[in-house]
Amino acid sequence: MTLMEKLAVLTDAAKYDAACTSSGSQRTAGPGSLGSTTMAGICHSFSADGRCISLLKVLFSNCCIYNCQYCVNRVSRETKRASFTPEELAELTIGFYRRNYIEGLFLSSGVLRSPDYTCEQMIRTLELLRNHYQFGGYIHVKAIPGADPLLIEKLGLLADRMSVNIELPSQEGLRLLAPDKSKHSILRPMGYIAGRIVENTRDLTVYRHAPRFAPAGQSTQMIIGATPDSDRQILSLAEGLYRRYGLKRVFYSAYLPVTENALLPAPGTKPPLLREHRLYQADWLLRYYGFQADELLDEQHPDLNPLLDPKCGWALRHMELFPVEINRAPYEMLLRVPGIGVKSARRIVRARRASSLDFTALKKLGVVWKRAQYFVTCRGRMTPGLRVTPESVLRALAEPQGLSLLEETPEQLSFFSGASCGSRAGKEEPHESPLSLLA
Amino acid sequence: MKARFPSSRKAYRYDGSYPGFLCCVFESFLHKETPPAILREEDPCTFYGEKWIETDEERASRVLRSLPRRISPAAAAFARDVFLTSLPEKELPLLRVLQEGFRSGGTVLDRLADGDLHVLWKAVRSMRNEAHLLLGFIRFSDYGGTLVSVITPKNHVLPILASHFRSRMPRESFLIYDRTHREGVLYRPGRLLFLPMESFTPPPPDQTEAEYRALWRRFYHMVAIESRENPKCRASHMPKRYWGNMTEFQDEDSPALPAARRNLLDKSTGSAYDESTAAVDKHAARFSREEEES
């Protein structure tokens, strides 16, 4: 098989991984080495689906001994199989990197022969890159569940970021769809990596030159819409992962039906892209805006409103807290105003030190006035003539894009009816706690 | 922002360089005056009387040293970045901002809602944004060990790109040609030089280079998920004006530029000639804008 064919097969098999970020690690190239990393990361291209391409995202091999139902590489599926050799992949990465096609390598793999053997092949590739080519660019590597902790340790010392995919947001889903994986096989390496990162931070404060273990931290991914879990379960799980395992990112991936299976949505079902988008919005609120999962969703509202971004949804339920005075409100409160983001909140705090702000000043600072005007006062006044009732605000804030996406995917709401996982209507029934996965 | 000194009758005219502008700042403080306009050498005449401001290294470096000390390091970087933007008539607003800065210190940069500062700040933001995008979108081709790239940015981002790639690939040699501003930057390990270049067309790729391009195009097309196709989202993250110079959007047989663009170029310059890197070296020796690495 030529390199071109291998690249095609192994890219095709890796494309469903959402993570392609190159952030969280800052390193300059030493003399004689090649490559650096920047804290914010750099996007090198955007593919036709609008996702960022930052890393050469490939599988080492798409041969797999497991049979996870949602996965394109499962052993029972007939598809072209290929594996790189460590030398091939290292040379390809360097060739791409020198031409500035990529910021580094995202290496994952199907389980070839055994988890340990797969891990060893990946280590060999990374060692070639780091030692032979003196490569200082970004490396994101997937830990293979079930591999020996010593091998995971070696991977972590070579990579910038590690990830273990949690795959499905509930244990029940895992049991049905990924019979070879259990919450333990997923959480053990995740916990091990989290522990090593904490330990390494301590080492680094004592010994400046201690070898760094996954300096860009750890991330994970879960599939949305393959099982009937509610947004509330998913978000609380994400929150738990951020808090307990110190994760840098949780990625959500709308399930694309790739197979005929009674347990899964039928092929041809459109992926729940709007739901995925809302989850990402909510995820940002957790990480940067000081929100907690139970503020955004509760028993009465187990799912995010598809028509509203989650922050608007929260604000509409808490109209008693608004309007806030832009010239006096604390930073934390500014962050909670729809239409004000992290950047514009920081600018407001900076600019109001120099002089008091009015409406035109806010627009200059990048505040989305269309949304913010219902929730703020400037020097004690709101926009003259503005009607603020819950209905008028709701109408003004609902997103037309949301409406159109919603109309495109009516089957999204019904695809679980009759399936053995239970219908979406069954969500009111008591569910396994999302945190039970972490227990 | 309110001018600190009363208006003078004569406009300033200078050579358009950053040191030249710093001499205008010096002149303004020397005579405690604010000119009604600051014109570049090539700007048309106005109805104001004019005063030619000579670029004097001594005066320029005095102002340059005082910026971080008397205002703030951020203000010094800001002034430098204003000069990398494509904003026309940036001189007078920047002079007023610096006048105020010398009076009130670094907090002058907090007045984001102020008219003068807002105009400059927006331009700087868009320049920094373009520079950041290009750090990713720029594509090199390997010609016998030298990496060559052509870009067509709106702003003068070449210095930012050069310092990024110098620290990223210290062992490599590279040439980045900015077609918009007709300027190139050449790096050899330990040495970085900027040189004006009227035109430049990269030579056709050799076999290895052609193979890597094909591999990258294949990867680019494979990694997209068909059922999630979203051309609008892609174009908003990666504006189409960058596509012309990117490997993933070029055909197999037109090596550096899409065919349509290359024809256009040939017509406009008469003969777009190939310039090997050796010729670039010779070219470089004649120009003294050289930055030696310490």
CA distance to partner chain B, nearest, from residue A100 (Å): 6
Task: Identify all chain A residues contacting B137, using CB atoms and an 8 Å cutoff.
Answer: 44-45
> Bridge-partner residues for B52, per DSSP?
B13
Name the closest residue on chain B to residue A273, using Cα atoms: B228
Choose between B37 and B262: higher pLDDT: B37
The one-character DSSP state at A72 is: T
Nearest to A115 by CA among A123, A127, A103, A104: A123
Q: Which of A3, A36, A43 sits opposite B168 (nearest CB)?
A: A36
- Give the number of residues written for chain A: 439
Asked, for residue A161, whether it belongs to a domain, the answer is: yes
Residues B53-60, mean pLDDT to the nearest whole number: 95
Name the closest residue on chain A to residue B223, using Cα atoms: A15
The whole-angstrom separation of Cα A12 and Cα A5 is 11
ipTM beyond cut 0.90: no
Please indicate whether, in this complex, the C-beta atoms of B216 and A101 are within 8 angstroms of each other.
yes
Residue from B78, B112, B236 whose CB has the most chain A CBs within 10 Å, to mutate: B112
Task: Identify all chain A residues contacting B212, using CB atoms and an 8 Å cutoff.
Answer: 95-96, 99
Residue from A45, A251, A358 whose CB has the most chain B CBs within 10 Å, to mutate: A45
Choose between B100 and B265: higher pLDDT: B100
Please indicate whether, in this complex, the C-beta atoms of B112 and A7 are within 8 angstroms of each other.
no
The whole-angstrom separation of Cα B88 and Cα B44 is 13
The whole-angstrom separation of Cα A375 and Cα A373 is 6
Q: Which of B136, B224, B247 sits opposite A42 (nearest CB)?
A: B136
Asked, for residue A17, whether it belongs to a domain, the answer is: yes
Please indicate whether, in this complex, the C-beta atoms of B171 and A34 are within 8 angstroms of each other.
yes
Please indicate whether, in this complex, the C-beta atoms of B136 and A365 are within 8 angstroms of each other.
no
**Predicted pLDDT at A175:** 84
Name the closest residue on chain B to residue A364, using Cα atoms: B113
Nearest to B121 by CA among B71, B78, B76: B78
Residues A201 and A327 in one domain: no
Task: Identify all chain B residues contacting A33, using CB atoms and an 8 Å cutoff.
Answer: 170-171
Which residue is it, tokens 């947001």? A169
Task: Identify all chain B residues contacting A35, using CB atoms and an 8 Å cutoff.
Answer: 168-169
Residue from B169, B175, B217, B246 whose CB has the most chain A CBs within 10 Å, to mutate: B169
Choose between A85 and B259: higher pLDDT: A85
Asked, for residue A89, whether it belongs to a domain, the answer is: yes
Residues A82 and A197 in one domain: yes
Name the closest residue on chain A to residue B163, using Cα atoms: A28
**Predicted pLDDT at A197:** 93
Task: Give the end of a domain, one of A217, A247, A275.
Answer: A217
A96-109 burial, b at 16+ Cβ within 10 Å, e below that, comes to bbbbbbbbbbbbbb
**If residue B151 lies in a helix (H) or strand (E), which one and from where to where?**
strand B146-151
Among the residue ranges B124-138, B149-163, B245-259, the one predicted with the least confidence is B245-259
Q: Which of A43, A98, A361 sits opposite B113 (nearest CB)?
A: A361
Task: Give the end of a domain, one of A174, A190, A217.
Answer: A217
Amino acid at A349: V
B143-177 burial, b at 16+ Cβ within 10 Å, e below that, comes to beebbbbbbebebbbbbbbbebbbebbbebbbbbb
Residues B251-261, mean pLDDT to the nearest whole number: 49
**Predicted pLDDT at A166:** 87
The whole-angstrom separation of Cα A337 and Cα A357 is 16
Which tokens is B232 given? Answer: 């609008």
Task: Identify all chain B residues contacting A92, using CB atoms and an 8 Å cutoff.
Answer: 215
> Up-side HSE of residue B57: CA atoms within 13 Å toward CB?
0
Residue from B108, B146, B208, B216 whose CB has the most chain A CBs within 10 Å, to mutate: B216
Nearest to A355 by CA among B115, B122, B123: B115
Task: Identify all chain B residues contacting A355, using CB atoms and an 8 Å cutoff.
Answer: 111, 113
Q: Are A109 and A142 in contact (CB under 8 A)?
A: yes
Task: Identify all chain B residues contacting A252, using CB atoms and an 8 Å cutoff.
Answer: none
B7: exposed, middle or buried (Cβ count in 10 Å: 0-12, 13-18, 19+):
exposed
The whole-angstrom separation of Cα A202 and Cα B62 is 46
| A35 contact partners, CB below 8 Å, separation of at least 6 | A29, A97, A104, A135, A136, A137, B168, B169
> Bridge-partner residues for A254, per DSSP?
A224
Name the closest residue on chain A to residue B134, using Cα atoms: A44
Task: Identify all chain B residues contacting A7, using CB atoms and an 8 Å cutoff.
Answer: 215, 218-219, 222
pLDDT digits (tens, 9 = 90+) for B110-141: 999 898 999 999 999 999 999 999 999 999 99
Asked, for residue A102, whether it belongs to a domain, the answer is: yes
Name the closest residue on chain B to residue A95, using Cα atoms: B212
Task: Give the end of a domain, one of A183, A201, A217.
Answer: A217
Residues A61 and A201 in one domain: yes
Task: Identify all chain B residues contacting A32, using CB atoms and an 8 Å cutoff.
Answer: 170-171
CA distance to partner chain B, nearest, from residue A251 (Å): 16
**Predicted pLDDT at A391:** 78
Domain ranges of chain B: 10-129, 138-294
Task: Identify all chain B residues contacting A4, using CB atoms and an 8 Å cutoff.
Answer: 214-215, 218
> Bridge-partner residues for B191, per DSSP?
B188, B292
Please indicate whether, in this complex, the C-beta atoms of A48 and B231 are within 8 angstroms of each other.
yes
Residue B269 has pLDDT above 90, yes or no: no
C-alpha A281: how far from chain center: 11
Asked whether the bond before B153 is cis by omega within 30 degrees of 0, the reply is no
Please indicate whether, in this complex, the C-beta atoms of B229 and A49 are within 8 angstroms of each other.
yes
Which tokens is A107 given? Answer: 């290496």
Quick count: other Cβ atoms within 10 Å of Cβ A359?
18
CA distance to partner chain B, nearest, from residue A314 (Å): 27
Amino acid at A212: R
CA distance to partner chain A, nearest, from residue B137 (Å): 5
CA distance to partner chain A, nearest, from residue B98 (Å): 16
Per-residue pLDDT band for B260 (boundaries 50, 70, 90) equals: very low
Name the closest residue on chain B to residue A12, using Cα atoms: B222
**Predicted pLDDT at B290:** 36
Please indicate whether, in this complex, the C-beta atoms of A270 and B234 are within 8 angstroms of each other.
no
Please indicate whether, in this complex, the C-beta atoms of B233 and A347 are within 8 angstroms of each other.
no
Task: Identify all chain B residues contacting A8, using CB atoms and an 8 Å cutoff.
Answer: 218, 222
Nearest to B201 by CA among B135, B124, B257, B253: B257
Note the pTM of the prediction, 2 decimals: 0.86
Residues A23 and A143 in one domain: yes
**Predicted pLDDT at A300:** 85
Quick count: other Cβ atoms within 10 Å of Cβ B260?
10
Name the closest residue on chain A to residue B238, using Cα atoms: A46
Residues A207 and A317 in one domain: no
Q: Which of B112, B135, B169 sits opposite A364 (nearest CB)?
A: B112
Name the closest residue on chain B to residue A347, using Cα atoms: B112
Please indicate whether, in this complex, the C-beta atoms of A364 and B225 are within 8 angstroms of each other.
no
Q: Which of A32, A33, A351 sits opposite B111 (nearest CB)?
A: A351
Asked, for residue A294, whether it belongs to a domain, the answer is: no
> pLDDT tens digits, chain A, 439 residues: what are they?
899 999 999 999 999 888 888 999 999 988 889 999 999 999 999 999 999 999 999 999 999 998 888 888 889 888 999 999 999 999 999 999 999 999 999 999 999 999 999 999 999 999 999 999 999 999 999 998 888 999 999 999 999 999 998 888 888 888 888 877 778 888 888 999 999 999 999 999 999 888 999 999 999 999 998 888 899 999 999 999 999 999 999 999 998 887 777 778 877 778 888 999 999 999 999 999 999 999 999 888 899 988 889 999 999 999 999 999 999 999 999 999 999 999 999 999 999 998 899 999 999 999 999 899 999 999 988 888 888 877 788 888 887 665 555 444 444 333 333 333 333 333 333 344 444 444 3
B107-128 burial, b at 16+ Cβ within 10 Å, e below that, comes to ebbbbbbbebbbbbbebbeebb
Asked, for residue A255, whether it belongs to a domain, the answer is: no
Query: Mean of the per-residue pLDDT values for chain B?
Result: 86
The total number of structural domains in chain A stands at 2
Please indicate whether, in this complex, the C-beta atoms of A33 and B216 are within 8 angstroms of each other.
no
**Predicted pLDDT at A357:** 93
**Predicted pLDDT at A403:** 56
Nearest to B290 by CA among B137, B188, B149, B150: B188
Task: Identify all chain A residues contacting B231, using CB atoms and an 8 Å cutoff.
Answer: 48, 50
The whole-angstrom separation of Cα B156 and Cα A299 is 55
Nearest to B276 by CA among B183, B143, B140, B152: B143
Residue B86 has pLDDT above 60, yes or no: yes
Per-residue pLDDT band for B276 (boundaries 50, 70, 90) equals: very low
Please indicate whether, in this complex, the C-beta atoms of B107 and A101 are within 8 angstroms of each other.
no
The whole-angstrom separation of Cα A372 and Cα A337 is 7
Please indicate whether, in this complex, the C-beta atoms of B112 and A360 are within 8 angstroms of each other.
no
**Domain ranges, residue A109:** 3-217
The whole-angstrom separation of Cα A421 and Cα A229 is 10
